[in-house]
Amino acid sequence: MARTNTLGVTPQSEDFSAWYNELVLKAELADRGPVRGTMIIRPYGYRIWELIQGELDRRIKATGHENAYFPLFIPEGHLRREAEHVDGFAPELAVVTHAGGKELDEPLIVRPTSETVIGEAFARWIDSYRDLPLLMNQWANVVRWELRTRLFLRTTEFLWQEGHTAHASAEEAAAEVLTAVGFYEELVRDCAAMSVIIGDKTPGERFAGADRTVSLEAMMRDGRALQTGTSHDLGTNFSRAFDITFTSAEGVVELCHTTSWGMSTRLIGGIIMAHGDDRGLVLPPRLAPYQVVIVPIGRGDDLAGVLDAAASLAARLQEVGVRVKVDDREQLSPGFKFNEWELRGVPVRLELGPRDLAAGTVTLAARLAEEKEQVRLADIAAEMPDRLTAFQDALLERSRRFRLEHTRNVDTWDELVEAVSTGFANALHCADPACEDRIKEATTATPRCVPFDAPDEQGPCAACGKPSAYGRRVVFARAY
């Protein structure tokens, strides 16, 4: 018999936005803060973030980057030193004008990103080519005053990591941009089980102050795109603004080439929307707070024996590296627990009762399966790592297949409009910002990226008919 969840979230097909908002709250991932647009990340959601941090931090440090921390407050004048940068962030800035009971001589910006404050420090720390490359990362919070907020996806304050590096040459900086993309691709693919498209942003979509922005774009279950990470080649723009120079081996003073790259807690929102269904979350095992939950079933004297067996099974699962929880809450019925853990997306649930013990079996309910199965109790711990790997692989393949099924090559305006209503449109594009504005006004879709792996192709822009500019198709989609 097919399983259903009785805890209740709006079906995705009825209202995807309502489904998402209800699920974040009911699965106890996050709650709303007291200031509009702020977010309280609850323990279950924060544990997912900790697992993301651990996976990404390991990759960052393995390539020689070091973690540091920079100030939350940035003098307003620092931002104004890079004109394009301040113009790009101006609508989202939170500004402190009073502190200590008086008006400040210079307003302070609450960190929206750290290129300026880190650039000022780099200028003091770098003297010679021997100081390069300088490879730094920080885990921090940032504030951007969003008009339309949604938990994890767009909040006034959110958590992220931001890498910042300085190099002696443009070639080294360009390589660094792709190194960071490699971190993100591995994390999103191998841990979050999300299939992504990687490519360059069009000039109108680049990070403010960057010469190049590379992004990773994933498709959500409603066909919209979510940017899961970005890496920026800043050229010498910030070095010129902040006098980040070095003396070369030949004794010449030169500007450094800098980069920045980041990934945030919006990836949690992506995991929710890329994998969840009408029963709730579906968490990839590598980022699930609990990979397995054991639900003991029984009453009176029978329950005591079941609890002992559940504890023993949990210990065996822990020995093979499985994150496991025994749900021994006596005040709740087994049925309620089944529905709750389905809603919270645990990859595998094990149900253990007196009859199971007598038969030497355990009932296994995998989150993606419609039917339960009986497994030998003596074998389940040894089998579980392979089962979790198979679950992770199946989730990634499902994400890849869904993206391909909802992506179309389009050659005309009407085809473009139709394709972005349900998914991604691959279209030849003229690169004219006015053309992008027209597409956005008519469909809310934007150019997500120019994919690295797209085949060479020339022809007229699907939107306006002018010659295409990139020699490849551009991905257009509605986005979060």
What tens digit of pLDDT does each residue of 28-68 get? Answer: 999 999 999 999 999 999 999 999 999 999 999 999 999 99
Asked if residue 295 lies in contact with residue 327, where contact means CB atoms within 8 angstroms, the answer is: yes
- Tokens at 336, concatenated: 């309620």
Which of 199, 274, 187 minimizes the C-alpha distance to 231? 199
- The C-alpha atoms of residue 293 and residue 313 are separated, in whole angstroms, by 11
- In the predicted structure, residue 188 carries a pLDDT above the cut 80: yes
- In the predicted structure, residue 88 carries a pLDDT above the cut 90: no
Q: Radius of gyration over alpha carbons of the chain, in Å? A: 25
- The C-alpha atoms of residue 133 and residue 120 are separated, in whole angstroms, by 16
pLDDT in tens, 328-370: 999 999 999 999 999 999 999 999 999 999 999 999 999 999 8
Burial call 74-90: b when 16+ CB within 10 Å, e when fewer: bbbebbebbeebbebbe
Domain extents for the chain? 16-275, 290-387, 407-477
Bond from prior residue into 133 cis (ω within 30 degrees of 0): yes
The predicted structure's pLDDT at residue 81: 82
Can you count the helices (H) and strands (E) in the chain?
14, 23
- The C-alpha atoms of residue 131 and residue 122 are separated, in whole angstroms, by 10
Give me the residue label for tokens 């910002």. Answer: 433
- In the predicted structure, residue 85 carries a pLDDT above the cut 80: no
- Collapsing DSSP to helix, strand or coil, 233 comes out as strand
- The C-alpha atoms of residue 294 and residue 316 are separated, in whole angstroms, by 12
Asked if residue 152 lies in contact with residue 30, where contact means CB atoms within 8 angstroms, the answer is: yes
- Beta-strand runs (E) in 201-334: 212-219, 225-233, 245-247, 253-255, 257-264, 292-296, 324-326
Q: Give the mean pLDDT of 88-103.
A: 90
pLDDT in tens, 11-35: 999 999 999 999 999 999 999 999 9
Which residues have a Cβ under 8 Å from the Cβ of 471 and sit 6 or more positions away?
Answer: 456, 457, 458
CA distances from 454 to 414, 448, 449, 475 (A): 22, 13, 11, 10
- The C-alpha atoms of residue 132 and residue 293 are separated, in whole angstroms, by 49
- The C-alpha atoms of residue 201 and residue 299 are separated, in whole angstroms, by 60
Q: Give the mean pLDDT of 292-303.
A: 92
Within 90-216, residue ranges assigned H as helices are 115-125, 170-186
Please report which confidence band the pLDDT of residue 299 belongs to, taking 50, 70 and 90 as the band edges.
confident
CATH of domain 16-275: 3.30.930.10
Strand partners, 95: 109
The predicted structure's pLDDT at residue 87: 72
Residue 113's Cα: distance from chain center in Å? 17
* Greatest Cα pair distance in the chain: 83
Average pLDDT over the chain reads: 95
Give the percent of the chain with pLDDT over 90. 92
Within 63-114, residue ranges assigned H as helices are 76-80, 83-89
Residue 211's Cα: distance from chain center in Å? 23
**Class of 290-387 per CATH?**
alpha beta
The predicted structure's pLDDT at residue 83: 63
Q: Give the mean pLDDT of 184-198.
A: 98
Residue type, 456: D
Instruction: Count CB neighbours of 441 within 10 A.
Output: 8
- In the predicted structure, residue 246 carries a pLDDT above the cut 70: yes
CA angle 270, 272, 275 (to 5 degrees): 95
Helix (H) or strand (E) holding 102: strand 102-110
The predicted structure's pLDDT at residue 7: 67
Asked if residue 345 lies in contact with residue 283, where contact means CB atoms within 8 angstroms, the answer is: yes
Pairing of strands 102-110, 94-99: antiparallel
- The C-alpha atoms of residue 213 and residue 32 are separated, in whole angstroms, by 32
Domains 16-275 and 407-477 share a fold: no
CA distances from 151 to 22, 110, 192, 345 (A): 11, 20, 18, 18
- In the predicted structure, residue 310 carries a pLDDT above the cut 60: yes
- The C-alpha atoms of residue 434 and residue 466 are separated, in whole angstroms, by 12
- The C-alpha atoms of residue 10 and residue 31 are separated, in whole angstroms, by 18
Please report which confidence band the pLDDT of residue 1 belongs to, taking 50, 70 and 90 as the band edges.
very low
- Tokens at 256, concatenated: 């450094």
- The C-alpha atoms of residue 111 and residue 116 are separated, in whole angstroms, by 10
- In the predicted structure, residue 82 carries a pLDDT above the cut 90: no
Instruction: Count CB neighbours of 138 within 10 A.
Output: 17
pLDDT in tens, 405-464: 999 999 999 999 999 999 999 999 999 999 999 999 999 999 999 999 999 999 999 999
CATH of domain 407-477: 3.30.110.30
Asked if residue 179 lies in contact with residue 63, where contact means CB atoms within 8 angstroms, the answer is: yes
